Amino acid sequence: MRLKLPMLGFLLALGLCLPTLAWAGTLPLQGDMAKLTVSDPPKPVADAVFRDENGAEMTLAAFKGKVVVLNLWATWCIPCRAEMPSLDKLAASITDPDFKVVTVAQDRAGPEKVRKFLDELGTKNLPAYIDTTMRSARAWNAGGLPATILIDRQGREVARLLGEADWSGHAARAVIAELLLRK
C-alpha cells in the first residue's frame, strides 16, 4: 500500500508529537489541580528579577535543579489571602530538598507590608519575596492574581493555575510528587 504524501506527513508529525502528548497525561489532575493548564511540552520560564527580604535581587536561577511552585500574589488580593495558608502547609509538608515554594508578592506597598501580611496569616514557611515593579508578573505572563506556575528541575514551566487553589491537599501533593520523580 502506498501512502500519499499528505498522509505520510501527517503520520510523521503524529509520531513526533506522541512523546509530548504522553507527557501531559502523567500529571494526576484531580480536585483543584484539574484547573491546571499543562504546558506540553514544558516551556522556558523567564528569569525575571525580584527581591528577597533584605532587598537583594534574585531570579529563579537560585532554585535551579529544584521543583518549584512559583506563586504570584499581592497583599490587596482577597483570593491570595485565602490561598496563602495552603501554600504554607504545602511548603511544610514536603521536606524534599529538591522542592521549594517561592511566593513573590506583586506589591508596591514594600517588603515591610508583605512581611506583616504573612505574619498576620501565621505563615511560617513562606519567603517574603517581592517585586514592587510587577515586571516579573508580566515576564511570567500572569493573567491575574493569584497565579501559580509549576516549574520542573530543568527550570521549565510544566503547568500553571490562575486563581485560588488548595495547595495543601492530596491532589496538589500528588502533582508535586510526580514532578519530583522526574529527573
pLDDT in tens, the chain (183 residues): 444 544 444 434 444 443 333 445 579 999 999 999 999 999 999 999 999 999 999 999 999 999 999 999 999 999 999 999 999 999 999 999 999 999 999 999 899 999 999 999 999 999 999 999 999 999 999 999 999 999 999 999 999 999 999 999 999 999 999 999 998
**How many domains does the structure of the chain reveal?**
1
H/E stretch holding 71 reads: strand 67-73
Sign of the Cα torsion 69, 145, 37, 41 reads negative
Predicted TM-score of the model (pTM): 0.86
What CATH number does the domain containing 147 carry? 3.40.30.10
Which residue range forms the structural domain that includes residue 113? Answer: 5-181
Q: What is the DSSP string of 75-122?
A: TT-HHHHHHHHHHHHHHHH---TTEEEEEEE--TT-HHHHHHHHHHHT
